[in-house]
Amino acid sequence: MSKEPSSVKSLLRLKCPNCRKGNMFTNRTIFPLNKMLDMPERCSECGLKYELETGFWFGTGYISYGISVGLIIIMAVIFSLTYGFDFNDNSIFIFLALAVGIMALLQPILMRFSRALYLRIFVKYGEGQPIR
C-alpha cells in the first residue's frame, strides 16, 4: 500500500495535483525567463490535461494578486515594527521602493505557484480524469 504524497510538499514542488508526482512545468527553474511558464499538455505520470479549458489560466491573476497583497501586508508590518513609518523621514517611500523591488523579483515564482494553486482548486488528489 503506497503512502499518499504530502499536499503542501507537492504544491511547493509544483507537482500535478492529481497524482502529486508529475512535474507541472517543463523547466524545473524559472530560467530562462521566456520559458518559465512552459507546461506539458498532460501530466507525464497520470495523463491529466493541465489546461482544463481554453483561457483557463486567466484566473491565476487573481491568485497571484491575492498572494502579492498578502506579502505586501506582511512586509509592511515587519517594516513598521523594525523601521517605522513616518512622513518626515520618507520611510513610506523607502518601503514602497523595497516592496516594488521585492515583488518584481518574486513575480516569476508567484506566477508559477499561482498556476499550481489554481489548478489544485479544480483538481483534487486522485479525482482528476485524464481527457483522451
Q: What is the pLDDT of residues 1-36, one digit of tens each?
A: 467 888 899 999 999 999 999 999 999 999 998 999
Residue 109 has pLDDT above 90, yes or no: yes
pTM for the structure as a whole: 0.86
pLDDT of residue 1: 47
What cell was used for 76? 509592511
Quick one: average pLDDT of 43-49?
90
Mean pLDDT for the stretch of residues 75-98: 92
pLDDT at 62 over 90: yes
What average pLDDT does the structure give for the chain?
Answer: 91
Taking the C-alpha atoms of residue 29 and residue 132, their distance in angstroms, rounded to an integer, is: 29
DSSP letter at 65?
H
Q: Which residues contact 115 (CB under 8 A, 6 or more apart)?
A: 24, 37, 39, 57, 60
The confidence score (pLDDT) of residue 15 equals 95
Is the pLDDT at 115 greater than 90? The verdict is yes
**Per-residue pLDDT at 129:** 67
Of how many residues is the chain composed? Answer: 132
For residue 132, is pLDDT > 60?
no
Query: Cβ(22)–Cβ(43) under 8 Å?
Result: yes
Residue 93's pLDDT is 92
Decide: helix, strand or coil at residue 15: strand
C-alpha 79, offset from chain centre = 24
130 pLDDT tier (thresholds 50, 70, 90): low
Name the residue type at position 10.
S
